[in-house]
Amino acid sequence: MPLLYFILLANSLSLAYTHYGVAPNYLTVYVSAFLSVACITRALIWYSFRRKTFTLKQARHQINMTILSSMLMGVGFSAWCLSLYGYGDIALQTHVIYYMSITVIGIIICLIHLPAAAWSTSLTVGLPFMLFFTLSGQPVFVAIAINFALVVAVLVLITLSYYRAFSSVINAKQTLEDQHLHTQRLNDQNELLANQDGLTKLANRRSFANHLNNKLQNSLDAHSFIVGLIDLDGFKPVNDIHGHAAGDRVLAEVSHRLQTLLDDDCMLARIGGDEFALVIDHSASHTEIQHLGQRITEQLQIPFVMRTGLVQISGSCGFAIFPDAGRSADELMDRADFALYQAKSGARGTSIIFSPEHERLIRQKSRIELALTQSVKKHEMYLHYQPIVNGQTGQILGFEALARWHHGELGTVPPSEFIVVAEKTGLICAITLNLFEIAIQDLRSWPPAMYLSFNLSVHDVINKNTLQTLRQILDRCGVPPQRVQFEITETTMMSDLDLCSATTRNLQEQGFKVALDDFGSGYSSLSYLHKLAFDTLKIDRGFVQNLQHDSRSQGVVKTILALCSSFDVDCVVEGVETQKQKDLLLQLGCRNMQGYFFHRPSEIAEFNLSDH
């Protein structure tokens, strides 16, 4: 465009120059100066556009302005030079006609990208030119006018075809850009899906791991931060009882509640079914962390309102502080997980910060792990038995087998410690089978009315091979399954309600008895009991401990007893330690009991079974 104005300006000035003194000054000086200023202004405006990006609307406006100004300029310059025509001799008149034709051609070429402007110039300049010189009567000028008309017509055609090619290039470029944008959007979406949890829209495990690793790479030791893990307690039964849609809604609500508790510099992620993780990007005192943990657990304890009723869960938290608890992502996650595990195994809905004491426990645990592997190989586990009695008469009805382990260096390790390790390392199945073999051998010498009650862990229940081998041991020893009861804890059952209830049903069909152990210590939702197949319910000793002072515990025991009789299943109360407890339980209607008051667990030889 500025080039166009340069041509126009140069040509016009030369025309003014040749007519200076011949034509009146107002034409050669003033009008030409006015037109020149207009030219320069437009040229400068265009020059200022060279780095500007226009929106479509602005571009359209500028194009319209250009068409308008090309028309105005066309009219202005044509009128000016045609008025000069009247003043000169033939040479000057030829200059006018030369000026007009060559300038229009130059302008049309310059406007090749803007055919509308090119055509409007052709019309506003070309048409008066044609008419003027055709009517001039000069045969040479008439010939030039016709010649000019033909050239302009050809040029208009050329602009047209050039413009088509030009606009198709622009369109192709636009399509390419659109495609690029589309691909970019798809990529962004993919990236989002790969890093986001679809349900809660929080970061997922992968993106959490990336965040933590980046943080560790960029973190100087001086800059402390905190890794936290949150695990929901009692979430699984929500899915089982209220359905998966309700479970999803609870998770979304949990994520919402957690987000409102956290500062902006915290990263919250959902890293598993009911597991959340967070990174707190600043140092905080133990008290502050405890306080946050408390607020989190309190929030999670507020019931969730579902269409199917109120849902009550709780959550536990474990925190690990960088760099005290570890320097790598794995270490920090393991330590936070350990703290979480500690929190979960204590009272529900608590939070714990990883401490040096935990470090000691981890070491102890790995020592137990090592020792346990050797002891299992050497069949060093043995059994103690605790009678299950008729509370009224004291008569022994059967024995619960309890695992015992004495290790040369570690001393006596209680089952509450080593069973967990055995479950984690996969040794539990071997232990179960070894102990079951011993128990069945013992059972063969017991009076025929007495039964064996044997504890199974969750790993045994979900392992078909273990269950099959248990049956084979029984058959090999010639003991009828009716004399064996398997104790399965309520928490085990809830870990996979469908699978576990199918297993227990299958065990019952084979003739075994099934006891629901530690009832009341777990989720205690009475609404799922009817889904389970069992013959005996063992009330957790937690209820007995509070019995004398807590009328609510009495009420619960009474309710459970009523439930058992309506389900037509037996009931055993565990952990009876005093005469008072026994009497109270008898009053409440309990019949079968177990506890230190009657017998402590001990070797089978301690019980004089020949009397029975």
Q: How many residues bind ligand C2E (CB under 6 A)?
A: 22
Closer of 52 and 378 to ligand C2E (Cβ): 378
596 binds ligand C2E (CB under 6 A): yes
Question: One-letter amino acid identity for 20?
Answer: Y
Residue 251 interacting entry, from ligand C2E, Ca ion, none, C-beta within 5 to 8 Å by type? none
128 binds ligand C2E (CB under 6 A): no
Could you give the CA distance from residue 9 to residue 596 in angstroms, rounded to a whole number?
A: 115
CB 32, CB 16: distance < 8 Å: yes
419 binds ligand C2E (CB under 6 A): yes
Residues 13-72 that bind ligand C2E (CB under 6 A): none
457 binds ligand C2E (CB under 6 A): yes
Could you give the CA distance from residue 405 to residue 384 in angstroms, rounded to a whole number?
A: 10
Name the 3-class secondary structure at 536: strand
426 binds ligand C2E (CB under 6 A): no
Closer of 205 and 384 to ligand C2E (Cβ): 384
595 binds ligand C2E (CB under 6 A): yes
Active-site annotation holder among 400, 487, 490, 574 = 574
- Residue 95: which of 9, 13, 27 has the closest Cα? 13
CB of 486 to ligand C2E, least distance (A): 10
Residue 595 interacting entry, from Ca ion, ligand C2E, none, C-beta within 5 to 8 Å by type? ligand C2E
Could you give the CA distance from residue 503 to residue 525 in angstroms, rounded to a whole number?
A: 20
518 binds Ca ion (CB under 5 A): yes
Residue 503 interacting entry, from Ca ion, ligand C2E, none, C-beta within 5 to 8 Å by type? none
CB of 490 to ligand C2E, least distance (A): 11
517 binds Ca ion (CB under 5 A): yes
Residue whose token pair is 């993780």: 277
CB of 430 to ligand C2E, least distance (A): 12
CA distances from 107 to 12, 62, 99, 117 (A): 13, 18, 12, 10
CB of 538 to Ca ion, least distance (A): 5
CB 229, CB 277: distance < 8 Å: yes
Residue whose token pair is 């058992």: 564
Pairing of β 484-489 and β 411-413: unpaired
577 binds ligand C2E (CB under 6 A): yes
Closer of 112 and 433 to ligand C2E (Cβ): 433
490 binds ligand C2E (CB under 6 A): no
Q: Which residues make Cβ contacts (< 8 Å) with residue 357, sequence separation at least 6?
A: none
CB of 517 to Ca ion, least distance (A): 4
Could you give the CA distance from residue 329 to residue 221 in angstroms, rounded to a whole number?
A: 14
Tell me, yes or no, if 574 is annotated catalytic: yes
CB of 445 to ligand C2E, least distance (A): 20
The residue within the footprint of ligand C2E, chosen from 415, 496, 588, 604 (CB under 6 A), is 415
Residue 391 interacting entry, from Ca ion, ligand C2E, none, C-beta within 5 to 8 Å by type? none
601 binds ligand C2E (CB under 6 A): yes
Angle, vertex CA 586, rays to CA 580 and CA 590, nearest 5: 125
CB of 576 to ligand C2E, least distance (A): 6
The residue within the footprint of ligand C2E, chosen from 240, 518, 535, 570 (CB under 6 A), is 518
CB-count burial class (<10 Å; 0-12, 13-18, 19+) for 177: exposed
**Of the listed pieces 210-218, 328-336, 414-422, 572-580, which binds Ca ion according to CB under 5 A?**
572-580
467 binds ligand C2E (CB under 6 A): no
CB of 375 to Ca ion, least distance (A): 21
Angle, vertex CA 337, rays to CA 334 and CA 341, nearest 5: 135
Query: What are the contacts of 65-68 at 24+ separation with CB within 8 A?
Result: 66/1, 66/114, 66/117, 67/114, 67/116, 67/117, 67/120
The residue within the footprint of ligand C2E, chosen from 53, 285, 416, 445 (CB under 6 A), is 416
**Of the listed pieces 39-47, 73-81, 85-93, 408-416, which binds ligand C2E according to CB under 6 A?**
408-416
Could you give the CA distance from residue 5 to residue 67 in angstroms, rounded to a whole number?
A: 14
Return the exposure string of 299-338: e unless at least 16 CB atoms fall within 10 Å of the residue's CB, then b: ebeeebebeeeebebbbbbbbbbbbebbeebebbbbbbbb
CB of 545 to ligand C2E, least distance (A): 8
- Residue 339: which of 313, 320, 326, 324 has the closest Cα? 320
Closer of 518 and 570 to ligand C2E (Cβ): 518
DSSP 290-354: HHHHHHHHHHHHSPEEETTEEE--EEEEEEEEETTS-SSHHHHHHHHHHHHHHHHHSSSS-EEE-
517 binds ligand C2E (CB under 6 A): yes
CB of 314 to Ca ion, least distance (A): 22
Closer of 130 and 438 to Ca ion (Cβ): 438
**Of the listed pieces 215-223, 293-301, 549-557, 594-602, which binds ligand C2E according to CB under 6 A?**
594-602
What DSSP state is assigned to residue 586? H
487 binds Ca ion (CB under 5 A): yes
The residue within the footprint of ligand C2E, chosen from 293, 315, 349, 575 (CB under 6 A), is 575
The residues of the shown chain that bind ligand C2E, judged by CB under 6 A, are 386, 402-403, 414-416, 419, 435, 455-457, 487, 517-518, 541, 575-577, 594-596, 601
Residue ranges binding Ca ion (CB under 5 A): 455, 487, 517-518, 574
Residues serving a catalytic function are: 574
